[in-house]
């Protein structure tokens, strides 16, 4: 329990003059001329031996000598036992306790910054007015605390209280403190690394605690990228974000680095998932390039002409075979196969890379077609019988009334046939476009979902390190146990493999090892936390690629719970709580065209916008140390989905205040 006291007032006697003070030969230090007095020498950690002799039993002469000795302490630094000093009442009440990291640092390095205190002339006790957390951590660390001795407070209680509050506010006011920038920290750690110190060694020397090695690695990585350092300072990015941005920038993928900056700025809940997806895509791109090269060689060997993207497959002279029938005389929608078309002079193929195999891996596919279907005697699949396309056949020009009547009837029939054929073609094209939109929607969200697993599981691993379960955990557990879902039974049957991994148990660990760890729970609160962790891991392990699209009850309860407990869920994870339907996705892109193929409204290109955010092409940085370009927050919202309404009533990120001048120096104007 923390000892606190109201500030005692100064004694009423006048302060002794310099000539009255005892002579000392104490060395000065760099704290404004203060001198250091080590009252804890030879194992004695008390400030003085006064406590052994009640002051009221001293003679006036001895008391005056003692007061003179205490007057001489003013502007000196005493090293005191933190258990013997008293803590004055303090304005800080929140976070006013010892913490593991600071205690670990003090155990290694001691208390480097003196606290402020004074001597109570009535009791002889040292009272600390500013520096209560240093005292509390020093108590836990078992080290002495340096106390910069000040003049005792004035006798007027009102003045003394005002002075205490002002001094404590100034001591703790963050506006008056400037911590090291990330760039400064990186330079300091780089200098240590230059002496062949490894990250773990640097962390030990700096007493950075359990996560110190990872912290040092992230700082060193961020320090390799000027773009990451500048973005971190400009937009107050956290260290992990800066390290990830530096990872891509140093790999030469500056576009992704800038997309990550944009996401950190406008939709930070998507940052970790986007970074993981980009890592996967980087590996997939190499694999896809190799497969495309193999397919190109295969087509070339088979003497198949390869069409480039300048020749569209749905407009003009060229068409893919699924849009054609063999001849105008064939019935509409007669299939034109690759084998039947192979001998056609216009035979060729486009290589499309937006297809996926059964496992969801992106693969290249040859889409066969004809370079000029009209010239080579083919017909559009939905063109009227006897016609190659939708162009009406000219009617005869007679002079008699009968001929005019016949020609009019023929023209009317043609008009009806063409209109019907066009409507059928439009409906088929619409279905094709809908399928393309849904395919791209599924592909993108599948990639995002796969990428979200690592950050989500990392969060779970951090959750189990807490001391107690979050609020509402007991009700969540009761509901899950009452429901008794398949995912829980499966985890029990398989001995909780995911929980073992996230617990950090070594490979090959058994159920007995897991049970032993749980049995060591030091408190009831920690035991509940372990119960919650095992339950969450069971549900997490049962999630699939289809969860974002068709979630079930346990998955929705799970995602809602961890979001409520602080997990920064990405957009795709929030779809588990509020899933989209295919109809909503199609309507969002096609508008009226989704239900009326003849409407002029809707998307102008197949699947436009389904792939999500794009980085502006002009967001190039020639010199990362120079001033860099801007980002348009309005476009950023569209790119990253920050306007999405979530089940919890928010949008997934705080509104971003526009900072045009500053942002004009960082990313690049969004197109």
Among 539, 558, 584, residue at a domain's last position: 584
- Please, which pLDDT band fits residue 664 given cuts at 50, 70 and 90? very low
Average pLDDT over residues 135-151: 95
Q: Does residue 419 fall inside a structural domain? A: yes
pLDDT higher than 90, residue 134:
yes
The string of pLDDT tens digits covering residues 59-98 is 888 888 888 999 999 999 999 999 999 999 988 888 788 8
Tokens matching residue 486: 């398949």
Contact 16, 151 (CB under 8 A): no
Mark out the alpha helices in 326-400 (DSSP H runs): 338-341
Q: How confident is the model at residue 151 (pLDDT cuts 50, 70, 90)?
A: very high
* Ranges of H-type helices in 207-304: 212-222, 226-235, 239-250, 254-266, 271-301
Q: How far is 350 from 364, CA to CA, in rounded Å?
A: 10
Residue 260 pLDDT level (bands cut at 50, 70, 90): very high
Whole-number pLDDT of residue 81:
95
CA–chain centroid gap for 436, Å, is 30
CB atoms closer than 10 angstroms to residue 495: 15
Give the residues across from 365 on adjacent strands.
352
Using alpha carbons, select from 527, 644, 521, 517 the residue that is nearest to residue 577: 644
Question: What confidence score (pLDDT) does residue 652 get?
Answer: 41
Classify residue 629 by its DSSP letter: B
Quote the pLDDT of residue 671. 32
Same domain, 422 and 350: yes
d(CA 385, CA 255): 51
Please check whether residue 553 is in contact with residue 499, taking contact to mean a CB–CB distance below 8 angstroms: no
The span from the CA of 37 to the CA of 278, in Å, is: 58
At 555 the three-state DSSP class reads helix
Q: Is 355 within a domain?
A: yes
Q: Which candidate, 639, 619, 637, 617, places its Cα nearest to that of 629?
A: 619
Provide the β-strand partners of residue 349. 306, 368
Last residue of a domain, one of 437, 472, 493: 437
Q: What is the mean pLDDT of residues 614-629?
A: 38
Strands (E) in 132-232, as ranges, are 145-149
- 418 and 473 inside one domain: no
What pLDDT sits at residue 302?
94
> What is the predicted pLDDT for the residue at 425?
87
149, 76 in Cβ contact below 8 A?
Answer: yes
Q: Which residues contact 643 (CB under 8 A, 6 or more apart)?
A: 637, 651
Task: Write down the pLDDT at residue 605.
Answer: 38
Residue 228 covered by a domain = no
Same domain flag for 21 and 116: yes
Instruction: Say if residue 459 is in the same domain as residue 557.
Output: yes
Would residue 505 count as lying in a domain? yes
At residue 170, the pLDDT reads 79
Work out the number of other CB atoms within 10 angstroms of the CB of residue 619: 23
The answer on 145 and 118 residing in a single domain is yes
Q: Are residues 31 and 165 in the same domain?
A: yes
The whole-number pLDDT of residue 599 equals 54
Q: How confident is the model at residue 334, as a pLDDT?
A: 94
Nearest of 70, 58, 80, 46 to residue 152 by alpha carbon: 70
User: Do the Cβ atoms of 324 and 383 come closer than 8 Å?
Assistant: no
401 and 290 part of one domain: yes
Mean pLDDT of 35-55: 44
Q: Provide, rounded to the nearest whole percent, the portion of the chain with pLDDT above 70.
A: 76
Q: Which whole number is the average pLDDT over 268-281?
A: 90
**15 within domain boundaries:** yes
146 and 40, same domain (yes or no): yes
- Do 301 and 399 reside in the same domain of the chain? yes
> Is residue 322 one of the residues assigned to a domain?
yes
The pLDDT value recorded for residue 656 is 39
List the one residue out of 202, 207, 213 whose CA is nearest residue 107.
Answer: 207
Query: Average pLDDT of 311-316?
Result: 76
Measure the CA–CA gap between 399 and 8, rounded to whole angstroms: 124
Question: Packing angle between helix 486-493 and helix 524-542, nearest 10 degrees?
Answer: 100
Contact between residue 351 and residue 296 where contact means Cβ atoms under 8 Å apart: yes
Within 13 Å of residue 268, how many CA atoms lie on the same side as its CB?
Answer: 15
pLDDT tens track for 329-357: 999 999 999 999 999 999 999 999 888 88
366: containing domain = 285-437
Using pLDDT thresholds of 50, 70 and 90, give the confidence band for residue 485.
confident
Q: Three-class SS string for 39-96?
A: CCHHHCCCCCCHHHCCHHHCCHHHHHHHHHHHHHHCCEEEEECCCCCEEECCCCCCCC
Q: What integer pLDDT is reported at residue 79 of this predicted model? A: 93
Question: Are residues 337 and 392 located together in one domain of the fold?
Answer: yes
d(CA 488, CA 539): 7
Name the more confident of 391 and 481.
481
Calpha distance 148→128 (Å, rounded): 9
532: how many CB neighbours lie within 10 A of its CB? 24
pTM: 0.56
List, for residues 230-250, the tens digit of each pLDDT value. 998 888 888 889 999 999 999
Give mean pLDDT, residues 427-435. 89
User: Confidence class of residue 196 from pLDDT cuts 50, 70 and 90?
Assistant: confident
Query: 45 falls in which pLDDT band (50, 70, 90)?
Result: very low
Rounded distance, CA 645 to CA 61, Å? 78
Domain count, the chain: 3
The more confident residue out of 231 and 670 is: 231
CB of 558 closer than 8 Å to CB of 540: yes
Element (H, E) at 118: strand 115-119
Widest pairwise Cα distance in the chain? 146
> Does 75 lie in the same domain as 132?
yes
Domain-terminating residue out of 176, 197, 229: 176
182 within some domain: no
Q: What is the pLDDT of residue 270?
A: 92
Given a cut of 70, is residue 215 above it in pLDDT?
yes
Domain contains 70: yes
Q: What value, to the nearest 5°, has the Cα angle with vertex 260 and ends 257 and 261? A: 90
Residue 603 in this model has a pLDDT that exceeds 70: no
**Per-residue pLDDT reduced to its tens digit, 395-410:** 555 455 555 555 566 6
My answer on whether 303 and 381 are in the same domain is yes
């Amino acid at each position: 329990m923390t000892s606190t006291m109201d500030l005692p007032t100064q004694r009423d006697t006048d302060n002794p003059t310099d000539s009255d003070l005892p002579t000392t030969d104490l060395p000065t230090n760099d704290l404004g001329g203060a001198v250091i007095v080590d009252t804890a020498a030879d194992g004695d950690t008390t400030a003085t031996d006064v406590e052994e002799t009640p002051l009221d039993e001293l003679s006036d002469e001895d008391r005056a000598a003692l007061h003179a000795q205490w007057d001489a302490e003013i502007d000196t630094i005493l090293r005191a036992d933190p258990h013997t000093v008293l803590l004055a009442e303090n304005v800080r009440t929140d976070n006013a306790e010892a913490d593991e990291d600071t205690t670990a640092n003090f155990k290694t390095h001691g208390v480097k910054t003196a606290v402020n205190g004074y001597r109570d002339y009535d009791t002889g006790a040292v009272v600390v007015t500013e520096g209560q957390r240093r005292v509390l951590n020093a108590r836990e660390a078992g080290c002495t605390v340096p106390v910069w001795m000040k003049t005792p407070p004035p006798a007027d209680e009102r003045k003394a209280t005002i002075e205490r509050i002002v001094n404590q506010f100034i001591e703790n006011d963050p506006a008056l403190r400037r911590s090291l920038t990330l760039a400064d920290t990186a330079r300091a750690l780089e200098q240590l690394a230059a002496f062949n110190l490894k990250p773990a060694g640097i962390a030990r020397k700096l007493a950075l605690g359990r996560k110190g090695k990872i912290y040092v690695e992230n700082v060193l990585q961020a320090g390799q990228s000027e773009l990451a350092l500048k973005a971190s300072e400009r937009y107050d990015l956290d260290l992990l974000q800066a390290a990830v941005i530096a990872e891509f920038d140093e790999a030469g993928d500056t576009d992704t680095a800038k997309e990550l900056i944009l996401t950190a700025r406008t939709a930070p809940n998507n940052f970790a998932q986007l970074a993981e997806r980009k890592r996967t895509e980087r590996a997939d791109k190499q694999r896809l390039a190799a497969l495309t090269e193999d397919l190109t060689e295969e087509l070339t060997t088979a003497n198949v002409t390869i069409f480039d993207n300048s020749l569209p497959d749905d407009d003009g002279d060229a068409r893919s075979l699924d849009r054609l029938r063999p001849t105008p005389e064939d019935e509409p929608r007669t299939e034109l196969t690759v084998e039947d078309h192979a001998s056609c002079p216009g035979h060729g193929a486009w290589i499309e890379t937006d297809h996926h195999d059964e496992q969801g891996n992106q693969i290249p596919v040859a889409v066969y077609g004809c370079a000029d279907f009209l010239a080579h005697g083919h017909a559009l699949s939905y063109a009227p019988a006897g016609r190659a396309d939708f162009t009406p056949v000219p009617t005869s020009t007679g002079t008699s009334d009968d001929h005019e009547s016949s020609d009019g009837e023929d023209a009317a029939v043609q008009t009806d046939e063409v209109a019907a054929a066009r409507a059928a073609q439009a409906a088929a094209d619409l279905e094709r476009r809908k399928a393309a939109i849904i395919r791209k929607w599924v592909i993108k969200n599948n990639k995002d979902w796969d990428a979200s697993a690592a950050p989500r599981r990392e969060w779970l691993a951090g959750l189990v390190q807490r001391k107690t379960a979050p609020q509402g955990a007991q009700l969540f557990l009761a509901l899950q146990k009452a429901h008794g879902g398949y995912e829980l039974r499966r985890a029990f049957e398989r001995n909780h493999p995911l929980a073992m991994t996230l617990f950090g148990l070594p490979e090959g660990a058994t159920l007995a090892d897991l049970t032993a760890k749980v049995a060591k729970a030091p408190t009831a609160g920690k035991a509940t936390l372990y119960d919650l962790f095992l339950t969450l891991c069971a549900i997490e392990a049962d999630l699939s690629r289809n969860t974002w699209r068709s979630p079930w009850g346990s998955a929705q309860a799970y995602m809602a719970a961890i979001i409520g407990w602080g997990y920064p869920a990405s957009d795709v994870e929030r779809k588990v709580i509020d899933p989209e339907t295919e109809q909503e996705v199609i309507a969002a892109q096609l508008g009226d065209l989704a239900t009326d193929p003849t409407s002029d409204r809707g998307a102008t290109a197949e699947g436009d916008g389904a792939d999500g955010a794009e980085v502006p092409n002009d967001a190039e940085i020639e010199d990362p140390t120079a001033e860099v370009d801007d980002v348009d927050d309005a476009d950023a919202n569209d790119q990253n989905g920050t306007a999405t309404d979530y089940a919890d009533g928010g949008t997934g990120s705080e509104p971003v205040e526009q900072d045009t001048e500053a942002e004009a120096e960082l990313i690049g104007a969004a197109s």
